[in-house]
Structure 1
């Protein structure tokens, strides 16, 4: 496709060249008809003689040589300072005695002009990935939320009232200090890598049998949505290293992969979902009890999967990436 400032399209260039070469028009006459300079008419006529219609296509405007381009050695020094010390263009320019604008141009060309693109732990550029179709990979993990006592938790009613609500809630176990404990809610989450479609269950623990049950029900849920799960990615938690988990993956014909130790970035999609889950559901508003909060989870999950715009998939909801959902085309 021609650029915005092109005077002629490939079709118009061909017509101009044919008038000159085949009908013997002069360069000036053909140029006048197409409102371009005679030199332009000569250029397209010469290309037509040499290459035929194929010569009318756009070519790169990149110069053959760039004598003033920053040398590869200097580029490596700039990149090394950026990766290892996370310096900005002005600081790098001061160390290397060169213009900051040149440093910025090099950083943009190397795609490390933003520090958010560089991993803090390794200094390497962050490598983002996305599997090609739904079910190619699912992420699994578990996160914990403190249960809410009757009357509301301390996030909304304050510490003192929250403690009073704990004492007033019946059936809570007591710790070594004889104070009531609300306990934890273990949210087992499953995310499809391609579509970001999410499945969540609230459980009382994160043991192997519990994780296996969640996986089996999640795979069945994805199957109902027309998604065949092929791989599953987890961290190195004990439940995911168990024989029960290994056998369950084999029974479901799913290949299990684990992240590198101490590298939660590899499972970053589900880690980010946990933050969204906390902000959008767990701590989004005042809940009068834990039962009320859990009752709100299915509605929020439906909103997340079917209506919430996801910036990573073009501001569309996750369900939009599933083209074979049952009932979708009826």
Structure 2
């Protein structure tokens, strides 16, 4: 999405502000002239000093790493146990502790099952544990992408509800 070319916080606008600071103007004065906080401009100026032009570009809000994410081998074990036993998350967590010595919270087990599309028993074939239905999900290509939602008021519904709430015909 393209912003206004003279906006203070586009990469070009930030470049102009950083050049003013490089020319010797105090950060507080340049920030006041641009209508932004000193702290915000100091953050962008530090990025400018560290990375140059690339530091002023927009960056994804997605985390670079997820160190607390459940390991894939443990997730595979959770999936295998679910397909074999069809137990719920609390019992699967107890089975993991008892059989494999792995301590995982039931909420974590549930999160893994949701991620793999196994959280609903009705979607699994009882004898084989195979997926019965394809799970249809609305997903974005990249985590952190903004969601677009249209909210329109198509009818003239009076405050307090319409005819269904008050049994009044439309006039």
Following TM superposition, by how much is the alpha carbon of 1:103 offset from its aligned partner in structure 2, in angstroms?
Answer: 1.0
1:45 aligns with 2:42: no
- Superposed displacement of residue 114, structure 1: 2.1
Q: Is the aligned partner of 1:23 residue 2:23?
A: no
Q: What is the distance in 1 between the residues matched to 2:26 and 2:16? A: 8
Cα pair distance change 1:36/1:69, threshold 3 Å: farther
For 2:129, the equivalent position in structure 1 comes to: 123
The answer to whether the aligner puts 1:14 opposite 2:16 as a matched pair is no
1:16 to partner: Cα distance: 4.9
The answer (yes or no) to whether the contact 1:78–1:103 under 8 Å persists in 2 is yes
Q: Structure 1 residues 92 and 36, CA, compared in 2 at 3 Å: closer, same or farther?
A: farther
Residue ranges of structure 1 left out of the alignment (5+ in a row): 2-9, 131-330
Equivalences for residues 34-73 of structure 1 within 5 A: 34-35=36-37, 37-38=39-40, 39-46=42-49, 49-51=52-54, 56-64=57-65, 66=67, 68-73=68-73
Distance 2:126 2:38 in 1: 54
Give the number of the structure whose alpha-carbon radius of gyration is greater: 1
Identify the residue that residue 100 of structure 1 maps to in structure 2: 106
Shift of 1:92: 0.5
Q: Which of 108, 111, 116 is matched with 2:117 structurally? A: 111
TM-score, normalization by structure 2:
0.52
Q: Which moved more, 1:23-32 or 1:76-85?
A: 23-32
Q: TM-score, normalised by structure 1?
A: 0.30
Q: Which runs of 4+ in 1 moved over 6 A?
A: none
Gaps spanning 5+ residues in structure 2: where? Answer: 2-6, 98-103, 137-171
| Other structure's SS at 1:23 match | helix
Alignment size in residue pairs:
119
Give 1:111 deviation, angstroms.
2.5
Structure (1 or 2) with the greater strand fraction: 1
Q: What do residues 129-186 of structure 1 show as CA deviations (whole Å, max 9, x unaligned)?
A: 99xxxxxxxxxxxxxxxxxxxxxxxxxxxxxxxxxxxxxxxxxxxxxxxxxxxxxxxx
